[in-house]
Amino acid sequence: MLGRRAFIAALVLLVGAVGAKAGSEARSARTLSAQGLAKVSDYIRNEIVTGKIPGAILLLQQHGKPVYYENFGVRDVATESSMSADTIFRLYSMSKPITSVMAMMLVEEGKLALEDAVAKYIPAFADMKVGVEKKAEDGKVSLALEPLQRPVTIKDLLRHTAGLPYGSSGGGAVRELYAAANLFNGDVSNADFVAKLAALPLAEQPGTLWDYGFATDVLGRVVEVISGKTLLQFEKERLLDPLGMTETAFYVTDPAKFPRIAEPMPDDRNINATTPVRDIRRPAIWQSGGAGLVGTVGDYARFAQMLLNGGSYEGRRYLKPETIALMASDHVGPETKIARDQSYYPGGSSGFGLGFAVRTSVPPGTSWPLGEYRWDGVGGTFFFIDPEDDLFGIFMVQTPSQRGRIQLALKTLIYQAMGR
């Protein structure tokens, strides 16, 4: 009985009271089988028992109510503190949908337009050039700078067609420049960060290639310019505080909360060869709209439910349903003639909208729903929203090295539990 009461209390703490969708669409949605969900639980427990992750949280919410919620393992193997609903995770790129929503609020208000040139708000973007590799007769490669064929737009920032990649060694001359600029390791304001970025060349002409990178960080600066506030101030005023996302921020500033922070395994603390996971206990200036937020599963559940509800939550509207529909539509489809980089993270069965990957075809061997939209973070967290089944899922974990494998396996098991 005590265990059952604790479980119910955790769910109340986690998501509060949210209204279910009404109508035939919700009634006809598929349900999750107990047998299928048992396999989901077994999979996560095995990841912990075999030492791949310290712990995790999985929430599946359908028709506005949790249908599956479980804490697994520990937050940190060093402290052996049990995973719980108030555990704080590094969200990394799950920050991007939140920043995108803030921008679309400004679009609805007429203060921003998708076709606006970024240079309207950040003048340095008017002078940017595109870096093009040229090979001489002797085989030496040099980087030539060519003028923009058209301006970088707000839509380019939202759909990652701005030519602003994350830097990488061996990824080409422009990416080498981005890597050498050490952009992730500075402690600067969003204004200073974007100024550093604007001094580098774009990797390709705007609107020609889906190329994942710093575009949403630039979008966060645009939000600051228009609102006259820091990104966090604007987010708290317009989204975080009204939604009740009280644990979502860019850093954990209260030492009393430090024990609640989830940590990866000791040998799994690097995002790549040169970048360790962020120390979110250290207050800093940079508020990265693309990768900076931290938060709890309950906070992100409120955000996800708002999206699934078509832009409203507990009687308050944040975006119009048609705006959510626009964001969850493919904006890099074949008709756009936009190419995809070699690592195209959404995968072959998905396009990309204004802040999310969007399911556009059914992967072979599955019956996953069309219209599902989603994104994840390099620290291991991921979420998905399935409008057809009036369902969303959030998985919270800190494991940079295991994230892709676990995400695919879990999504497969979850949809199998729905008979898909």
CATH number at residue 60: 3.40.710.10
Q: Measured between alpha carbons, how far is 80 from 111 in angstroms, rounded to an integer?
A: 49
- DSSP E strand stretches across 120-169: 129-135, 141-147
Q: Give the model confidence (pLDDT) of 289-332 as tens digits.
A: 999 999 999 999 999 999 999 999 999 999 999 999 999 999 99
Number of domains in the chain: 1
Q: Give the model confidence (pLDDT) of 235-283 as tens digits.
A: 999 999 999 999 999 999 999 999 999 999 999 999 987 789 999 998 8
- Does any domain span residue 401? yes
**Main-chain phi, psi angles of 125, to 5 degrees:** -70, -20
Residue 151 and residue 117 in contact, taking contact as beta carbons nearer than 8 Å: yes
Which residue range(s) make up the domain with 307?
2-88+252-269+291-417
**Main-chain phi, psi angles of 327, to 5 degrees:** -65, -35
Tens of pLDDT along the chain (420 residues) come to 434 444 444 444 454 434 434 333 444 678 999 999 999 999 999 999 999 999 999 999 999 999 999 999 999 999 999 999 999 999 999 999 999 999 999 999 999 999 999 999 999 999 999 999 988 777 788 899 999 999 999 999 999 999 999 987 677 889 899 988 888 776 899 999 999 999 999 999 999 999 999 999 999 999 999 999 999 999 999 999 999 999 999 999 999 999 999 999 999 999 987 789 999 998 889 999 999 999 999 999 999 999 999 999 999 999 999 999 999 999 999 999 999 988 899 999 999 999 999 999 998 888 889 999 999 999 999 999 999 999 999 999 999 999 999 999 999 999 999 987
- Does any domain span residue 356? yes
- Does any domain span residue 258? yes
- Does any domain span residue 351? yes
Residue 16's identity, in one-letter code, is: G
Residue 123 CB partners (closer than 8 Å, separation 6+)? none
* C-alpha distances out from residue 366 to 370, 388, 398, 404, Å: 11, 16, 27, 18
Q: Measured between alpha carbons, how far is 10 from 70 in angstroms, rounded to an integer?
A: 9
